[in-house]
Amino acid sequence: MDIKHLVKMANQIGDFFAAYPNRDETVQSIAVHLKNSWDPRMRRQIIDYVERSGGADLKPIVRDAVRALEMPQQIAAEVPGDD
């Protein structure tokens, strides 16, 4: 999918959740929506976009939500297994 379209959709999701009074709750809600509603390929594409370019076209709260999607993968890579 075209990254410009993904950015537009993600920013629209951010607009919807922007009414939440707590910023952390807003970021978490956007991340949960992306995780539950977007195809994994779409999520990977938006995550890669943020990693490569910094995600300048994303609203800051949406960019933070995308970074929150990355976090579990990073934590999993850093935590040693129970071997």
CB 23 within 8 A of CB 59: no
Confidence at residue 27, expressed as pLDDT on a 0 to 100 scale: 96
38: left (phi over 0), alpha (psi -120 to 50) or beta: beta
Q: What is the pLDDT of residues 14-72, one digit of tens each?
A: 999 999 999 999 999 999 999 999 999 999 999 999 999 999 999 999 999 999 998 65
CB 59 within 8 A of CB 11: yes
* CB-based contacts of 55, cutoff 8 Å, min separation 6: 7, 46, 49, 62, 63, 66
Confidence at residue 70, expressed as pLDDT on a 0 to 100 scale: 80
Q: What is the pLDDT of residues 6-23, one digit of tens each?
A: 999 999 999 999 999 999
d(Cα 80, Cα 46) in Å, to the nearest integer?
27
Confidence at residue 77, expressed as pLDDT on a 0 to 100 scale: 44
Q: Is the pLDDT of residue 81 over 50?
A: no
